[in-house]
Structure 1
Amino acid sequence: MRIAAHRWFGAGALPAVGMLAAGCVVAPAPGPPPGYGVYAPGPPPAYGVYAPLPPPPPPVQVVPALPYPGAVWIGGWWNWGAGRYAWVPGYYARPYPGHRWEPHRWAPRPGGGWALQGGYWVR
């Protein structure tokens, strides 16, 4: 009887350990905001965001410590949507070998208003 009980305990312990392990999640390192982290090297992106007013001055950004060697800080920028500016915070990214980051920038439009050119990697 004692051996049979031991076998039942052993048989039940393995699935229980498996269920506990399935509940463990290894969180990935924090990355860029959704939609802002995938930049491929190449020509500058076309202007696609327009605003009637110039962007406000950027807030002071506190740059955190490097999360890994070689990380490049992508500074925050003002985005325009729903009739107002919204600050997009900066983040670290893995650089493309042989490239440097050209930051987002707002430029005045000849007919009035402002246009945002998204950041990109350039040789």
Structure 2
Amino acid sequence: MNVLPLSRRRGAGAVAAAAAALLLAGCAVYPAGPYYGDVVAVAPPPVRIEAVGVAPFPGAIWINGYWGWRGGGHYWVPGRWDRPRPGYHWSPHRWDRRGPGWRERPGRWDRD
């Protein structure tokens, strides 16, 4: 029987482990669907009115603030200025009714 020496077998395992690590390094995990988080029983408060002010650069667009959910309660995320993205439009953050509760859908850039 032709058996490789132990030192050569270990080297092959190291090469296989390095190859697997490289393959997995390019992997990304994305949530299934546009929603995240659990359905919560507490409706979001009314949207706050924010002072928008003057755009910091030409062509800037204002993205409204929204209510997020963390640690059993809603918290306000302030609005911000952003650069437009050609071929995309902004779909704002929102809360959708799901049975007796609410589900958060984050704002995002959607293709036109």
Q: TM-score, normalised by structure 2?
A: 0.65
Match of 1:49 among 37, 42, 63: 37
Residue aligning to 2:109: 121
Q: Which runs of 4+ in 1 moved over 3 A?
A: none
Separation in structure 2 between the aligned mates of residue 49 and residue 78 of structure 1, nearest angstrom = 13
Q: Runs of 5+ in structure 1 lacking a partner?
A: 1-44
Q: Amino acid of the residue matched to residue 65 of structure 1? A: V
The structural deviation recorded for 1:49 is 2.6
Pairing 1:104-119 to 2, within 5 Å after superposition: 104-110=93-99, 112-119=100-107
Separation in structure 2 between the aligned mates of residue 118 and residue 70 of structure 1, nearest angstrom = 23
By relative contact order (CA 8 Å, sep 6+), the higher-ranking structure is 1
Match of 2:55 among 66, 72, 87: 66
The structural deviation recorded for 1:87 is 0.2
Separation in structure 1 between the aligned mates of residue 64 and residue 96 of structure 2, nearest angstrom = 17
CA RMSD in angstroms, aligned pairs only: 1.2
Identity %: 42
Q: How many residues align?
A: 78
Q: TM-score, normalised by structure 1?
A: 0.59
Match status 1:103 vs 2:92: yes
Q: Runs of 5+ in structure 2 lacking a partner?
A: 1-32
